[in-house]
Amino acid sequence: MINNSTIASSNGRFYLPDQVAKGLYINGLWQVASSGKTLDVIDPSSESLVARVADASEVDAMAAIEAAAAAATGWANTAPRKRGEILRRCFELMTERADDLAWLISLENGKALSDARGEVAYAAEFFRWNAEEAVRIQGQLLTAPAGTNRIIVDYQPIGICVLITPWNFPAAMATRKIGPALAAGCTVVLKPASETPLTAYALAALYAEAGVPPGVVNVVTTTSPSTVIAKMLADPRVRKLSFTGSTPVGRTLLAEAAKHVISCSMELGGNAPLIVFDDADIDTALDGTMIAKMRNAGQACTAANRIFVQSNIYDQFVEKLQNRMENMIVGPGTSPHTACGPMINAKAREKLVALVENAVSLGAQLKCGGATPNMKGYYYPPTVLADVPLQAKLNNEEIFGPVAAISKFNTEEEVIARANDTEYGLAAYVFTRDVSRGFRVARQLEFGMMGLNRGLVSDPAAPFGGVKQSGLGREGGTHGIYEFLEAKYIATSI
Ligand code: NAP
């Protein structure tokens, strides 16, 4: 095991403060868990122990809520300009340390360094964007339709926020919540995923350096998320739950939050269709498919799960995609040559093995990959399945790995029906040179976001989020900050 204080970046700089070895970040201080327990952080590229961080109990979680409550009034009353300047400093520090942070993400998550660098840039941008949003919170003033009085709508911070994030974007999923919450004037307790806590703690140290006051951001890691989160949500001062993760856990948390009628933002799972029409520019479609499928080795909520290709270009597309997938270098995330890192853990890889076996047993053609390499690390090779039958399980489940599942379609009407045949509704992708068809299809697809001739939709300036069972609410854009604000209406005769 590497001692936390000796975790260094590829350029030799130390950037995780020694105190991180103590874990929990509460009220601006690093604290051991009250139980003394720790949780192991494993490098998925080697299966070796990277570090141990504190394993919080309900007692620790409530200490974090107390800290957030004590800091709430001061932060809400901090001038928006000042809040914005502190957020801007967070952006600058993240940008200055982008290489170090990317290396840490690759170490604990396993994603390729190029993906990790992209994540850091994306994550930092939520601070820059929300630094600008902090001073642009718009209220309303109007005259009542009856002409009897005026209506004033004021926006106030919603209160203490509990934020829960997944392992697949350990930096960006946190800053996509912390940026707007702090811009709105809220204080927060973040519970990052157990697999990737180091990035969250490294960022906590950076926020303090940028001037975020003690108690405004608190970070707790735990191996008992269910009881720890339930305890926090039961505190009447907590008014917001913002969750990013799987749909099943999202459902459980919605039920928990319902007990206390807490406002919820839910960024949940996806099952993205990627549609390539005959008239598409094939290289643009292939570039877009590689990004939509292979970013983070396929471990993204927006990953292309079902690839539909029109009959006239089907064989050509399959052959070219196979060629690109076969040539990807698989290896440790921290190696500069790696294009496809490991899966996050053994369970995630076992799921892929089962999904591919199921599809092949039902008649899918295995074009490349499909065999787990005999080496340490949770690797699974880039895999292409063609002629995937409708009944294959991977049509209804998130693959969450480097498996491209392709099937053929004939008509626009048919592919829209197939694409919408899912309980999920996060992202979709369409490739066509016919602009009017692109917009026509976009309107009919039941998804919150659509890439038109693009394999990437994420942008801090755009509203990210899903419909159906992919979630509630939006993060980013001008919408994001309003998830952390409450409208107050004042009726006045003046
Ligand atoms: P997950 O299992 O749902 O876990 C997400 C977070 O919830 C983790 O911090 C986890 O803690 C915590 N958690 C698990 N069970 C809980 C419970 N009963 N009560 C409270 N918290 C609980 O998801 P994941 O495997 O980390 O992430 C992958 C999923 O996230 C995929 O479904 C993906 O599509 C989705 N995702 C969605 C978006 C989006 O924006 N829509 C973005 C990224 C990922 P532990 O780590 O300690 O278990």
Question: Residue 91 domain-assigned?
Answer: yes
For residue 21, pLDDT over 70 is answered with: no
In tens, the pLDDT along 356-415 reads: 999 999 999 999 999 999 999 999 999 999 999 999 999 999 999 999 999 999 999 999
- At residue 274's C-alpha, the angle toward residues 271 and 275, to 5°, is 140
Asked if 45 contacts 105 with a C-beta cutoff of 8 angstroms, the reply is no
- Global pTM? 0.97
Asked if 272 contacts 427 with a C-beta cutoff of 8 angstroms, the reply is yes
For residue 29, pLDDT over 50 is answered with: yes
> Cβ-count burial of 258 within 10 angstroms (0-12 exposed, 13-18 middle, 19+ buried)?
exposed
In tens, the pLDDT along 317-339 reads: 999 999 999 999 999 999 999 99
* Cβ of residue 91 lying under 6 Å from some atom of ligand 1: no
Smallest CA-to-CA distance from 431 within 268, 295, 321 is with: 321
In tens, the pLDDT along 244-297 reads: 999 999 999 999 999 999 999 999 999 999 999 999 999 999 999 999 999 999
* Cβ of residue 244 lying under 6 Å from some atom of ligand 1: yes
For residue 302, pLDDT over 90 is answered with: yes
Based on the domain organization, do 303 and 399 belong to the same domain? yes
- The protein residue with its alpha carbon nearest to ligand 1, atom 22, reads 225
Domains in the chain: how many in total? 2
> Which pLDDT score is estimated for 1?
41
* Cβ of residue 473 lying under 6 Å from some atom of ligand 1: no
> Cβ-count burial of 141 within 10 angstroms (0-12 exposed, 13-18 middle, 19+ buried)?
exposed
Amino acid code (one letter) for 28: G
- At residue 405's C-alpha, the angle toward residues 403 and 410, to 5°, is 160
> Cβ-count burial of 181 within 10 angstroms (0-12 exposed, 13-18 middle, 19+ buried)?
buried
State the pLDDT confidence band at 3, using cuts at 50, 70 and 90: very low
Ligand 1 geometric centre to CA of 65 (Å): 21
Based on the domain organization, do 47 and 137 belong to the same domain? yes
Based on the domain organization, do 163 and 299 belong to the same domain? no
* Cβ of residue 268 lying under 6 Å from some atom of ligand 1: yes
Cα separation, 22 vs 4, in Å, equals 9
Atom index in ligand 1 nearest the CA of residue 166 equals 26
For residue 140, pLDDT over 60 is answered with: yes
Based on the domain organization, do 291 and 425 belong to the same domain? yes
Asked if 327 contacts 382 with a C-beta cutoff of 8 angstroms, the reply is no
CATH number at residue 480: 3.40.605.10
- What is the rounded (10 degree) CA torsion for 330, 332, 333, 334? -130
Asked if 94 contacts 120 with a C-beta cutoff of 8 angstroms, the reply is yes
Based on the domain organization, do 293 and 316 belong to the same domain? yes
For residue 18, pLDDT over 80 is answered with: no
> Which pLDDT score is estimated for 5?
46
In tens, the pLDDT along 177-198 reads: 999 999 999 999 999 999 999 9
Give the active site residues.
Answer: 267, 301
Based on the domain organization, do 113 and 161 belong to the same domain? yes
* Cβ of residue 249 lying under 6 Å from some atom of ligand 1: yes
Based on the domain organization, do 313 and 211 belong to the same domain? no
Based on the domain organization, do 58 and 83 belong to the same domain? yes
For residue 199, pLDDT over 90 is answered with: yes
| Percent share of the chain, pLDDT over 90 | 95
Question: Residue 52 domain-assigned?
Answer: yes
For residue 10, pLDDT over 90 is answered with: no
For residue 133, pLDDT over 80 is answered with: yes
Ligand 1 geometric centre to CA of 268 (Å): 8
Backbone φ and ψ for 39, nearest 5 degrees, come out as: -125, 145
Question: Residue 465 domain-assigned?
Answer: no
Ligand 1 pocket test: which of 249, 252, 469, 472 has the largest number of ligand atoms within 8 Å of its C-beta? 249
- The protein residue with its alpha carbon nearest to ligand 1, atom 6, reads 166
The alpha carbons of the chain give a radius of gyration, in whole angstroms, of 23
| Percent share of the chain, pLDDT over 70 | 96
Mean pLDDT, to the nearest integer, of 448-469? Answer: 98
Asked if 454 contacts 429 with a C-beta cutoff of 8 angstroms, the reply is yes
Quote the domain boundaries for residue 337: 272-460
* Cβ of residue 179 lying under 6 Å from some atom of ligand 1: no
Mean pLDDT, to the nearest integer, of 225-238? Answer: 98
For residue 494, pLDDT over 90 is answered with: no
Strands in 140-143's sheet, in edge-to-edge order, are: 140-143, 150-157, 485-492
Cα separation, 322 vs 14, in Å, equals 41
